[in-house]
Amino acid sequence: MPLADRTVLPSCLGRRAIAEEDQTEENALVAVSHNAVLGSIIQLASLVRHADDIFCDLAEECQVVFEKTESIHLKVHALSKKIEQLDSTEVNIHCLIPPTWKCASLDPCCLRAFGVFEVKPTVFICHG
């Protein structure tokens, strides 16, 4: 059974003792209805307090999400500025060839089709 985080009180609206002077039948009915109305007002006040707590927690979570989103936006903006400054004609592409290949018979610029390999012994510089 889950634990209750927030409990709206009173749970039973009409469970209050009637005063001694309200023991007559007519006064007892009025006293019971007044107790029920009073209990419902107290219940609504408790519900409002819990709703306020929930919305305050939600506002804090939204603030955290906004701050993280703003941070990511600034990082993406900085990266886009760096990308705009890059020039593909000036950047050298290093192609690393596995040792099983015949390095002398391969054109280094053709190696771009095979991607970049981690295995060395020979490094070619392919100008794009």
pLDDT at 97 over 90: no
Over pLDDT 90: what percentage of the chain?
33
Q: How far apart are CA 22 and CA 24, in angstroms?
A: 6
Tokens of 121: 């012994």
Q: Which residues, 6 or more positions from 99, have their beta carbon under 8 angstroms from its beta carbon?
A: 119, 120, 121
For residue range 55-77, list pLDDT tens digits in order: 999 999 999 999 999 999 999 99
pLDDT at 123 over 90: no
Per the model's pLDDT, the better-predicted residue between 7 and 49 turns out to be 49
The whole-chain average pLDDT of the chain stands at: 77
Q: What's the pLDDT score for residue 66?
A: 97
Q: Which residues, 6 or more positions from 16, have their beta carbon under 8 angstroms from its beta carbon?
A: 35, 39
Q: How far apart are CA 92 and CA 112, in angstroms?
A: 12
Per the model's pLDDT, the better-predicted residue between 59 and 123 turns out to be 59
pLDDT at 105 over 50: no
Name the band, by pLDDT with cuts 50, 70 and 90, for residue 120: very low
Ranges of each domain in the chain: 1-86, 88-128
**Residues making up the chain, counted from first to last:** 128
Q: What's the pLDDT score for residue 118?
A: 38
